[in-house]
Chains A and B, each alone.
Chain A
């Protein structure tokens, strides 16, 4: 399945785009996406941490992704 990823902050600079499509096997979890991204973009492993949000909520590693989900890569937040 094709999934769309929104990128923010430093992740946008690592991806060099703010919206990216990637291909993952059906039924992939957040954890699979994370491993895939870290393989493709090793620079994100150097972040102090990063979260993955699915449909505007921080997602646990075992959440199963669907093609129509809104998925965002959330580097360490620094508002305020």
Chain B
């Protein structure tokens, strides 16, 4: 099973766990990406996320389906937040359940690492004295 979502509402960890839970699974791995309070010693005021939603969902689906092929995992969930986020807010949740933990760890790591490379979502960091689109310039 795959469960993919891009949401302007806060992400809910408990409901994500409920969606992924499965009696065939002996382990669940959850990655929760949150907003850090500083980048290179500069205080972060807020982050602004935007997505090219139809394509982002399509790329997230590719990641989830590929993970299901690569590892013996049962369910994979990827939820990403968009909009204005503040320190401590949850930006992304990846949850994977599998009969055995190795596959859950591997698939979860693959999913978040690949999401950061391929899914068309962007964030702008807003500092006290300026702002910057993350990764835009070398």
**A76 contact set on B, CB distance < 8 A:** 135-136
* Per-residue interface assignment for chain A, residues 1 to 23, with 1 indicating a CB less than 8 Å from any chain B CB and 0 otherwise: 00000101110010000000000
* Contact of B120 with A by CB under 8 A: yes
**A78 contact set on B, CB distance < 8 A:** 116, 121-123, 133-136
Q: Determine chain B's interface SS by DSSP, over half rule.
A: mixed
Q: How many A-B residue pairs have CB under 8 A?
A: 76
Chain A contact patch, size range = 10 to 19
B136–A9 contact, CB under 8 A?
yes
B115–A80 contact, CB under 8 A?
yes
Interface residues of A in 12-45 (CB under 8 A from B): 13
**B92 contact set on A, CB distance < 8 A:** 79-80
